[in-house]
Chains A and B, each alone.
Chain A
Amino acid sequence: MIEPYDWAGGREAMVRFGPGSGPVVIAALPLFEEANRMRGFAATILRSLAENHGIAGVLPELPGTGESLIPSERIAISDLRAGFAAAARTAGGRAYSMALRSGALLDGSVVIRRRWHFAPQPGDALLRALRRIHRTGDAPGYGGHRLPDTFLDELPDCHVEPARTLRLEGDTRPADRLVPGRALWREPTPDNDLVLATLLADDLAAWVRMCEA
């Protein structure tokens, strides 16, 4: 079900999954191109959470991303974070975040009770990746996105809040759990992974239940 949410800068849309009460998982997609490759995967996780575990979920469009009417030239970390917090407030219930990749930069709001991250990407790593894409000259701007200097300047100081953290096997950074699968955010064409989505939904559900207990 698609419904609107209001934040200080306007109105955006979010997709809701599952029951209308109880704990609710708010999803933060990665920023930019990775969002296109992970949107279907995130929706599959939320659908599994709703259908197999009876836990509600919300996938918001954030200001300056996806279908938002705000162009990427005006994107700002503070607006993305405010939008995410407003979506969590609108969703109602006890909110938990599910952040994928650079989505982990956006869930620092106090509205969120606890955080769950999959392969989180800190701001300085995102900036290096964007600059590298920019230098290839493959598309105008940063992989086709025109981004303001203020946004790029802010990224090195954007940190990831403490969270339950899952990563792919082969990733050497600290994690609570390593899971098998491919890096869907890198796939040449958008793809999905039902086995991994189910595994992540099961982990999320067990974690939410533990936090609620």
Chain B
Amino acid sequence: MLDIETTVRGVLRDVLGLSDERVAAFDETTPLFGALPELDSLAVAGVLTEIEDRLGILIEDDEVDGEMLESFGTLTRFAAQKVLG
């Protein structure tokens, strides 16, 4: 789970162009979609594709909703569930 969290943190840093310090401060409750101006629809597409690539998972369109992208915690849990099946 910690590895997955590290990967998701790295993806958000790279796609949104955030500093190491800023993503290091992300915790379970850090809000994402709607709170980060960098996270527009194109950036969401980049985040999903990069998470798929780095974790070797597939994310279907109907799995993507506001709840999944609500916070760093919800996104990481979603990715972990995908990896662990």
Contact = CB atoms under 8 A, between A and B. Distances in A.
Interface of A: 121, 125, 128-129, 132-133, 135-136, 138, 168-173, 182-183, 186-189
Interface in B45-59: 45-46, 48-50, 52-56, 58
B45 A172 contact: no
Majority SS of interface residues in chain B? helix
Contacts, number: 62
Interface stretch (B13-21, B28-36, B65-73): B13-21
Contact of A170 (B6, B41, B46, B49): B6
Contact of A183 (B14, B38, B45, B56): B14
Contact of B17 (A121, A168, A189): A189
B84 interface: no
Nearest to B55: A172
Contacts of A121: 53
Contacts of A135: 45, 61
Contact of B54 (A133, A172, A188): A172
A188 B52 contact: no
A132 B14 contact: no
Contacts of B48: 132
A170 B7 contact: yes
A195 B37 CA distance: 29
B42 A186 contact: no
Contacts of B44: 136
Interface of B: 3, 6-7, 10-11, 13-17, 38, 41-46, 48-50, 52-56, 58, 61
Closest 4 CB pairs of A and B: A183-B14, A132-B45, A188-B17, A129-B49
Contact of B42 (A136, A168, A182, A183): A136
Given A128-B49, A136-B42, A138-B41, A182 B13 contact: yes
Nearest to A136: B41
Given A136-B41, A183-B14, A128 B52 contact: yes
Given A183-B14, A186-B15, A125 B52 contact: yes
Contacts of A136: 41-42, 44-45
A121 B53 CA distance: 8
27 contacts: A121-B53, A125-B49, A125-B52, A125-B53, A128-B52, A132-B48, A132-B49, A135-B45, A135-B61, A136-B41, A169-B10, A170-B3, A170-B6, A170-B7, A170-B54, A172-B54, A172-B55, A173-B53, A173-B54, A173-B56, A182-B13, A182-B14, A183-B10, A183-B50, A186-B15, A188-B43, A189-B17
Contacts of B50: 183, 186
Contact of B10 (A125, A170, A187, A189): A170
